[in-house]
Structure 1
Amino acid sequence: MIDIHSHILPGIDDGASTIEESIEMAKQAVSEGITKVVATPHHRNGSFDNEKKVILQEVAILNKEFEREKIDLKVIPGQEIRIYGDMIDDYGRGKLLSINETGTYLLIEFPQSHVPAYANKLLFDLQISGLIPIIVHPERNQEFIENPKRLYQIVKEGSLCQLTASAVTGQMGKKVKQFSHEIITHNLAHFIASDSHNVKTRPCDLRKALDTVENKFGLSMRYMMQENAEFLIEGKVVQKEPPQRIHKKKRLGIF
């Protein structure tokens, strides 16, 4: 398996704080059956700035450390970018990092409380420039929860979405789980990833999430999610079905 979203790089954001913690996270990932993990440190989120050059250096260091420790896990470079207006210019300046440097996919994070007014235009402009946006953890965004039409429109216009494993399994609460499942049901999700930060409070539980998907949505949905992770790191076109609207229900509410 491939985990496309992890904060495994030590000491650069709110994930692993030391190399020892990175090693613990790696061992946990391997025990889950994961062979490759995309390191996606936060960038431009108001607390952390991690540009492409730094991430590539840290990934190389961590891969060498795992080799020394005989941990069979390959770290792939990535970045979790908080959406901002100058993304296209900064990508051209070499500050932003596409997943595995394929020049194809960017992981993009929205503020938890809302979707910026300029988001649709920026996401469209990114696609015009040859980049495909992947919106991370949309199930936690308050505006999407209150108005699922916004998420539908973004996916309809070409962006992709990645759900968090612990949201799918219910570890983030019933309402987040419910909305995650609605997103899957309506063909608005294309990946599931751990978004792991440590081995205890935010662990890697990708296998459990994929088991949940298989049990509720069928084996073909699980395979799609797993295969899309492979296509992603290779810069290939991912599988997707036509998105459908989620009709808002009172029970989704605000959590």
Structure 2
Amino acid sequence: MIDIHCHILPGIDDGSKHMSETLSMAQKAVEEGIDTIIATPHHKNGQYENIKSEIIEQVADVNLALADQGIALKVIPGQETRIFGEFIEEYESGKILTLADSQYVFVELPSGHVPRYTEQLLFDIQLKGLTPIIVHPERNSQFIEHPDLLYKFVKKGTLTQVTASSLCGYFGKKIKAFSQQLIESNLTHFIASDAHNVKNRTFKMAEAFDLIDSKYGPDMVYLFTENAELLVENSNVMREVPEPVKRKKFLGIF
């Protein structure tokens, strides 16, 4: 299993604080059946800046430590970049990193709103030959209140990634319900951990896929696990036809 979103690199954001914690996270990941992680430290979120070259160096150090400890996990470079106006310019200058050296790039939105220029930037990213992936849309309050906005983005080519812990209810019932709505409406394409540690923000990937299997069946599990593999291979991921979230049904589940 591949986890495409994880804060496993030590000491560079609000994830792992040091190499020993990184190794603990790696061991926990392996126990859950994860064999590959894309390390996605925060970038340009107002607190952290982690540019491409520094992330690649950190990933190399972590892989050496994993090999030294005999932990059967591979870490690949990635980045979680907060949306900002000069996104394209930073990509062109070599500071923004795609996931696993692929066409796919993470875009993080503020939790409380969707900036007005989001649609234009998502379009501009695609003009560069990249595919934007909005991370944890289920935790964005504007998407929760106005899911048609996310539907519009997905219909125009943007992908999304839901957090395993959200789906399992660790961020509350409302976010869990919305996560399920996104799956049911074909508005998400990846499930990932967004793990930050082994305590309160851990992987929950096995639990999430057990839930998906019981609620939606093995075909949905296959779609999400296969899409992670296709991303790492830089192949086109599977996309079902997106549907608007049924507003009446959506409101009725809270």
SS in 1 for 2:223: helix
SS in 2 for 1:207: helix
The CA RMSD over aligned residues, in Å, is: 0.9
Matched to 1:64, the amino acid is L
Corresponding residue number in structure 2 for 1:63 = 63
Matched, 1:121 2:111: no
Distance in 1 between residues matched to 2:171 and 2:240, nearest whole Å = 26
Once the two structures are aligned, what percentage of the paired residues are identical? 50
- What is the CA deviation profile of residues 120-169 of structure 1, one whole-angstrom value per residue up to 9, with x for unaligned ones? 01101110110000000000000000000001001001000000001111
Q: Is the 8 A contact 1:148 1:247 kept in 2?
A: no
Structure 1 residue 86 displacement after superposition:
1.0
What are the within-5 Å matches in structure 2 for residues 1-20 of structure 1? 1-20=1-20
Matched to 1:74, the amino acid is K
Corresponding residue number in structure 2 for 1:36 = 36
Point out 4+ residue stretches in structure 1 off by more than 3 angstroms: 249-253
Matched to 2:28, the amino acid is Q
What are the within-5 Å matches in structure 2 for residues 163-174 of structure 1? 163-174=162-173
Corresponding residue number in structure 2 for 1:81 = 81
Q: How many residues in Structure 1 have an aligned counterpart in Structure 2?
A: 252
Matched to 1:69, the amino acid is Q
Corresponding residue number in structure 2 for 1:47 = 47
Structure 1 residue 247 displacement after superposition:
2.5
For structure 1, which runs of at least 5 residues remain unmatched after alignment? none
Distance in 1 between residues matched to 2:251 and 2:187, nearest whole Å = 20
Matched to 1:228, the amino acid is N
Structure 1 residue 205 displacement after superposition:
1.1
Q: Is the 8 A contact 1:161 1:188 kept in 2?
A: yes
Structure 1 residue 250 displacement after superposition:
3.2
Corresponding residue number in structure 2 for 1:250 = 251
TM-score of the aligned structures, taking structure 2 as reference length: 0.98
SS in 2 for 1:114: coil
Corresponding residue number in structure 1 for 2:93 = 93
Distance in 2 between residues matched to 1:211 and 1:240, nearest whole Å = 21
Distance in 2 between residues matched to 1:177 and 1:243, nearest whole Å = 19
Distance in 1 between residues matched to 2:155 and 2:206, nearest whole Å = 28
- What is the CA deviation profile of residues 187-208 of structure 1, one whole-angstrom value per residue up to 9, with x for unaligned ones? 0010000000000100111011
